[in-house]
Chains A and B, each alone.
Chain A
Amino acid sequence: MTKNIPSLEMKNVAFGYRNSGLTLAGMSLDVGEGERIAILGESGIGKSSLLRVIAGLERITSGQIFIHGRLVSAENVHCTAEERKVGMVFQDWAVFPHLSVFENIAFGLRSRGKQNEERERVKQLLEEFELEGLASRSPDTLSGGQLQRVACARALAPRPEILLLDEAFSSLDVGLRKRIREQVIKALKIERAASVLVTHDPAEALEFADRVFQMRDGILLDAKMHNEFRQ
């Protein structure tokens, strides 16, 4: 893992919703290429807001965010979500109900003008996530685990530089959660994409990440290396 140019760099980022206090209060974070980090915290403390800020779905109040060295967010700078090469898996997966599994996974490739590699890339992801045979199925015929894998494959299809996972595994049962988590980790290794998982489950954070952070009062505490945190 090279740390010369971090995949994601946040410097003193502050963010708050209108008519409420700061959700992120001067937060700093570096994530190296291919590195997996997890952010732990209770519900409602702003973990999802942090991911939305990184994704470009919200504008920051102050501070700076760099993706692969490129400034994407600052007080007067805002690259929109479609301009950042960031993938995200939402808590409820948000699989488009009007598209088949194949079309869902190919969605981002078409937007980014990669139609020529569409078939090959989707086939590869279908294999990686054990979704062969489901390509033409409609989302409303899939189980929760299958939907989860479609959402992950779709987010990874355009080869994002960073993958954000918002409590992405929490609504699955323990056995399935472990299997899908392993599939995602394997895919992330192949793609060499950095990733940020937010979760309220310490065990999941430890299983997934190289580094685990605790979020409290809008800042990241206790940044510890994996082994140190486990101890």
Chain B
Amino acid sequence: MKIFLQIFVFALVAIFLAPVFALLNEGVQSLVSEKATLSSDLLSRYGLTSLLLLAGSVSGAVLFGTSAAYLCARFDFRGRRLIQWLSILPLGVPSYLVAYTWVDFLVDQGVPGGSLRNLPNTCFVFAVCLSPYVFLPSFSAFSALSGSLLESAKLLGKSQFEIFRLIEFPLARASMFAGGILAGMEVLADFGTVDFMAIDTWSKGIYRSWFGYGDRGRASLLAVILFLISGTLLFWETNVRAKNSLARSGRSVSLHTRKKLPFIKSLPFLFFALIPALVSCVFPALILTQRVYSKSDPEQWASVVSPALTTLGMASVSSVIVVVLGLAMVLIWRSNPGKFVRSLARIGALGYALPGGVLGLGLLILLAPFSLTGSVFGLLLAYCIRFATIGTSTLEAAWLAIPRVYDEQARLLGCTSWGVFNRVTLPLLQNSIACAFILTCIDIVKELPATMLLRPFNFETLAIRTYNLASDERLSETAPSSLAMIALCMTGVFVAEKLGAFGVSERSRSGK
């Protein structure tokens, strides 16, 4: 049984890492044959822009995410629950869609389009769209602060600011940092936004090398470097999170009570906390709805039906596979497979560090000999590799939260390993299975770069349709497909939140 598990996990990891090796092979061969070179000029241009974008976007996301998290976790005011809910809403809107909508809207108001496409604006778009990545871990860190700890500080004569500086901030710092790293990975992986905003980042350099100059070798080398940077970030994030959870494990603490904040006093904070949701979701949704209505052409919806069905179909099938893989991993953890298998499985989680574009190129090289490029199979494979981590991490976390004593009790009552899984683990994971499915679906609906590279001919998802129209500067025509994407993703975020996926509901805080 152990050998079977080892072979299974090994095969899975091999499939997940194959695109990286394909890219590495292509890049090294080109270097050896001197077909491709990475000039320091090229590296510094893409590198510096990516670095500046990364710094600006992550700082903004940390600022927005942390302030909203602190406000909602530590204070009680009218509208707090609404802010909590609105703060996770940007998860349901792809950043490229926000960029398209705002640029289109402002150009319509007479602002020159060229002046809008610059680095600070791109940073702002990323900051608002990625703020939930920081909000969620920071909110849970601030919420978990012990009430007696804060009261002790107060009794020792510390002011509210000193309590924040000396206790709250240091204890929540690791969570904010981990969230910031995840946001950074998303910035590096993005293609749609930077392409539209004309920012020369690393991921754009990969596309330009491959499609613009037909230089596969250089594209592969850039892709490998991007993967290494993302992988390092993911490794860093995992370590920070692990250290943080170690620091927090121990005695259970009494949760603090929220401090009452008068409504008038809360208004400026409220407004600041609302910026991400307003900029990334509410206003774009209103602008797009207005566009669709003002056109009053029933045909415009007809053109969206087929991409919407394709998107839903691909997202559902891939998410089912991702969830099944996640459950298989839970079964493997349960069987106590040993250090080797665990380490292998951790390597498999690196799929999340593969930006869509990098993965797409890797699979293009890998699948070409089998004539599988531009196939539904290739696309499904890409989605599963890229998003498998969502399934495994969601289900693994939920499984770890199930007390081991339930398993033991079931075994004592005569259940075999399968019986325990079927009668205890699986029913207790129901909510998490639904969450993993929905979260994967949301990410697949938003996914653009890998889909662009690997889709079959005439195969259009909502993201592809929106991107194609936007890159032809037919921005006003993107409204129906953009609105459909927002509707799909928002519904997903709403249902996932109700199921407790984000841990911001009152139920999660009370630990029920």
With a cutoff of 8 Å between Cβ atoms, the chain B residues found around residue A155 in the complex are 412-413
Q: Is A86 touching B424 in the complex (CB atoms < 8 A)? A: no
Considering residues A57, A94, A158, which has the most beta carbons from chain B within 10 angstroms of its beta carbon?
A94
Q: Is A88 touching B409 in the complex (CB atoms < 8 A)? A: yes
Residues facing A in B424-451 (CB within 8 A) are 424, 427-428, 430
Q: Mark A76-92, 1 if CB is under 8 A from B, else 0.
A: 00001110001110101
A208 within 8 A of B: no
Which of A22-30, A66-74, A105-113, A211-219 lies at the interface with chain B? A105-113
Q: Is B415 touching A92 in the complex (CB atoms < 8 A)? A: no
> Please, which residue of chain A has its CB at the minimum distance from the CB of B430?
A98
Q: Is A82 touching B428 in the complex (CB atoms < 8 A)? A: no
B403 within 8 A of A: yes
Q: Is B414 touching A94 in the complex (CB atoms < 8 A)? A: no
B408 within 8 A of A: yes
Q: Is A94 touching B415 in the complex (CB atoms < 8 A)? A: no
The prevalent SS among residues of B at the interface is helix
Q: Is A82 touching B424 in the complex (CB atoms < 8 A)? A: no
Q: Is B405 touching A90 in the complex (CB atoms < 8 A)? A: yes
> Please, which residue of chain A has its CB at the minimum distance from the CB of B409?
A94
A154 within 8 A of B: yes
A82–B199 alpha-carbon span in the complex (Å): 62
Q: Is B411 touching A57 in the complex (CB atoms < 8 A)? A: yes
A87–B411 alpha-carbon span in the complex (Å): 10
Q: Mark A93-125, 1 if CB is under 8 A from B, else 0.
A: 010111100000001100110000000000000
Q: Is B428 touching A98 in the complex (CB atoms < 8 A)? A: yes
**Interface magnitude class on chain A:** 20 to 34
Determine how close the nearest CB of chain A comes to the CB of B490; give it in whole angstroms: 29
A155–B427 alpha-carbon span in the complex (Å): 21
With a cutoff of 8 Å between Cβ atoms, the chain A residues found around residue B430 in the complex are 98
A86–B416 alpha-carbon span in the complex (Å): 15
With a cutoff of 8 Å between Cβ atoms, the chain A residues found around residue B512 in the complex are 140
Contact partner of A94 (CB less than 8 A), chosen from B403, B419, B423, B428, is B403
Contact partner of B413 (CB less than 8 A), chosen from A98, A140, A154, is A154
With a cutoff of 8 Å between Cβ atoms, the chain A residues found around residue B405 in the complex are 90, 92, 94
A152 within 8 A of B: no
Q: Is A108 touching B413 in the complex (CB atoms < 8 A)? A: yes
Q: Is A107 touching B413 in the complex (CB atoms < 8 A)? A: yes
With a cutoff of 8 Å between Cβ atoms, the chain B residues found around residue A194 in the complex are none
Contact partner of A97 (CB less than 8 A), chosen from B410, B416, B423, B428, is B428
Q: Is B406 touching A96 in the complex (CB atoms < 8 A)? A: yes
Q: Is B419 touching A111 in the complex (CB atoms < 8 A)? A: yes
A81–B423 alpha-carbon span in the complex (Å): 17
A55 within 8 A of B: yes
With a cutoff of 8 Å between Cβ atoms, the chain B residues found around residue A112 in the complex are 413-414
A154–B414 alpha-carbon span in the complex (Å): 12
With a cutoff of 8 Å between Cβ atoms, the chain B residues found around residue A88 in the complex are 408-409, 412
Considering residues A86, A88, A90, A111, which has the most beta carbons from chain B within 10 angstroms of its beta carbon?
A111
A81–B512 alpha-carbon span in the complex (Å): 30
> Please, which residue of chain B has its CB at the minimum distance from the CB of A151?
B409
Residues facing A in B368-415 (CB within 8 A) are 403, 405-406, 408-415
Q: Is B411 touching A107 in the complex (CB atoms < 8 A)? A: no
With a cutoff of 8 Å between Cβ atoms, the chain B residues found around residue A96 in the complex are 406, 409-410, 424
Q: Mark B463-492, 1 if CB is under 8 A from A, else 0.
A: 000000000000000000000000000000
With a cutoff of 8 Å between Cβ atoms, the chain A residues found around residue B403 in the complex are 92, 94
Contact partner of A80 (CB less than 8 A), chosen from B410, B411, B413, B423, is B411
> Please, which residue of chain B has its CB at the minimum distance from the CB of A55?
B412
With a cutoff of 8 Å between Cβ atoms, the chain B residues found around residue A92 in the complex are 403, 405
Q: A96-B406, A98-B428 are in contact. Are A158 and B411 (CB under 8 A)?
A: no
A-B contact list, 10 entries, CB within 8 Å: A55-B412, A81-B411, A86-B412, A88-B412, A94-B405, A96-B410, A96-B424, A99-B427, A107-B413, A111-B423
Q: Can you add 7 more A-B contacts, CB < 8 Å, to A86-B412, A94-B409, A140-B512? A: A81-B411, A82-B412, A82-B414, A92-B403, A96-B409, A107-B423, A158-B413
